[in-house]
Amino acid sequence: MNPRSLLLLRFRRLGDIVLTTPAVSLLKSRFPGSSLTYLVEEPYRRLVEGHPDIDRVIVVPAKQNRSDFLRLIREIRRERYDALLDFHGGPRAAWIALLGGARLKIGHAIKSKGFLYHRTTPRRGLDSPLHSVETHAGLVRALGADFRKEDIPPLILPPARPEEIARVEALTAAVASGQAGPGGGPLPLVVLHIGAGNAFRDWGEENAAVLASRLLEIPGISLAAVGGEGDRPREDRIAARLGSPRFLSLSGRLNMIEVRELVRRAVLFIGPDSGPMHLAAGTATPIIAYFGPTLPALFGPWRPGLNPAKTVILETNPDCRPCRQRVCEPGDYRCLRNISPDEVLAAARPFLPS
């Protein structure tokens, strides 16, 4: 099949959407004449809006009433898509696959939903772990594309707009005021993600505060904290505890592409397995990532072609790991929070000014 029009479904979240971008690039390279439409929820539109391989973006609210959803279905049916690729697998995506009128429907082999698709591909490897990027690429293979794992491209996100670049430059200039790095320029920047998507991936406020303090004992760097709007109170407490002009509070103040632009300019990114880590993986900036209940083989930074030494994974292996992130049986999130600030600082040292 040589499809002319494709509808791609991935409503949310940050990291999950970012991890579909290699499959998007594969689609465009293997079917160069095709038009790609990506359907995404409003909070995440900037992750695909302006993407070089996406021709159209359909943006929907996180919650839709019945009349709005039926209006969306009518809009999709009018387009008569040659193929639909369901990267999401949730209930709303299933209804779109069922009612959207695409000539060919491709999705993951999910129990009780596989019958909706003409072709399915497994979400898990048979003999070895299958990275999330590879599972998404499997949908492209099911469409008829031929490629090896080595052919799967890196993460690609839309470029930062001029106003986004200017905003990042203005914010980072503020922390560098009166400071001089090597050659008289601004201080090298370290970006620290202080929150997480859920409690299971949250390294903890105390760990983040201690690490930030240790980092700022190194005179040659500045430190920027990133996170969501909900991380602002934590960030305020850490900032008050540090009392340093070299600490830049940015949680909830940047959009997702601005975070990526900030990391691109940094000497190091540090954070848990969460959305900002995947944004960082789309840059050449070194990463130190700590993993708790999830496995790096499935969700680690996807960085083909980049020097592996630029990606450092820290993890522990208690008997309860990995888990489904429903209930922490020990109750203390030990798989993640037992990684100490000293371990993270030791891993960071090679990337920092001496």
* Partners of residue 84 on adjacent β-strands: 7, 105
Q: Which fold has domain 162-351?
A: Rossmann fold (3.40.50)
pLDDT digits (tens, 9 = 90+) for 245-298: 999 999 999 999 999 999 999 999 999 999 999 999 999 999 999 999 999 999
* Whether the Cβ atoms of residue 347 and residue 313 lie closer than 8 Å to each other: no
CA-closest candidate to residue 258, choices 174, 165, 353, 189? 165
Class of domain 5-151: alpha beta
Task: Report the pLDDT value the prediction gives residue 171, as an integer from 0 to 100.
Answer: 87
Residue 329 has pLDDT above 70, yes or no: yes
Task: Report the pLDDT value the prediction gives residue 173, as an integer from 0 to 100.
Answer: 82
Q: Distance between CA atoms of 299 and 179, rounded to whole angstroms?
A: 37
Task: Report the pLDDT value the prediction gives residue 186, as an integer from 0 to 100.
Answer: 67
Comma-separated ranges of CATH 3.40.50.2000 domains in the chain: 5-151, 162-351
- In the block, tokens 């934590």 appear at 234
Task: Report the pLDDT value the prediction gives residue 61, as an integer from 0 to 100.
Answer: 95
Q: 181 pLDDT band (50/70/90 cuts)?
A: very low
Give Cα 102 to chain centroid, integer Å.
28
Provide the phi-psi class of 333: left if phi over 0, else alpha when psi is between -120 and 50, else beta: left
Residue 354 has pLDDT above 80, yes or no: no
Residue 175 has pLDDT above 50, yes or no: yes
Task: Report the pLDDT value the prediction gives residue 274, as an integer from 0 to 100.
Answer: 93
| Segment 152-163 mean pLDDT | 97
Task: Report the pLDDT value the prediction gives residue 126, as an integer from 0 to 100.
Answer: 64
| Segment 157-163 mean pLDDT | 97
The pTM is what? 0.93
If you write DSSP's letter for every residue of 25-89 in order, what string do you get? HHHHHHSTT-EEEEEEEGGGGGGTTT-TT-SEEEEE-SS--HHHHHHHHHHHHHH--SEEEESS-
Close Cβ partners of 245 (under 8 Å, ≥ 6 residues apart): 175, 178, 179
Close Cβ partners of 243 (under 8 Å, ≥ 6 residues apart): none
Mean per-residue pLDDT over the chain, rounded: 93
Strands 119-121 and 104-108, by their bridges, are parallel
Residue 46 has pLDDT above 70, yes or no: yes
**Longest distance between any two alpha carbons in the chain, whole Å:** 63
Task: Report the pLDDT value the prediction gives residue 184, as an integer from 0 to 100.
Answer: 46
- In the block, tokens 């299971």 appear at 200
If you write DSSP's letter for every residue of 107-150 in order, what string do you get? EE--TTTGGG-SEEE-SS-SSS---HHHHHHHHHHHHT----GG
Q: Distance between CA atoms of 248 and 227, rounded to whole angstroms?
A: 12
Task: Report the pLDDT value the prediction gives residue 335, as an integer from 0 to 100.
Answer: 94
If you write DSSP's letter for every residue of 145-193 in order, what string do you get? ----GGG------PPPPHHHHHHHHHHHHHHHTT---GGGSPPPEEEEE
Q: What 3-state DSSP class applies to 271?
A: strand
* Whether the Cβ atoms of residue 288 and residue 270 lie closer than 8 Å to each other: yes
Residue 81 has pLDDT above 60, yes or no: yes
- In the block, tokens 């990526």 appear at 260
Give Cα 278 to chain centroid, integer Å.
3
Q: Distance between CA atoms of 181 and 175, rounded to whole angstroms?
A: 12
Neighbours of 233 (CB within 10 A): 11
* Whether the Cβ atoms of residue 282 and residue 260 lie closer than 8 Å to each other: yes
Question: Which tops the pLDDT comparison, 112 or 159?
Answer: 159
Residue 332 has pLDDT above 50, yes or no: yes
Q: 111 pLDDT band (50/70/90 cuts)?
A: confident
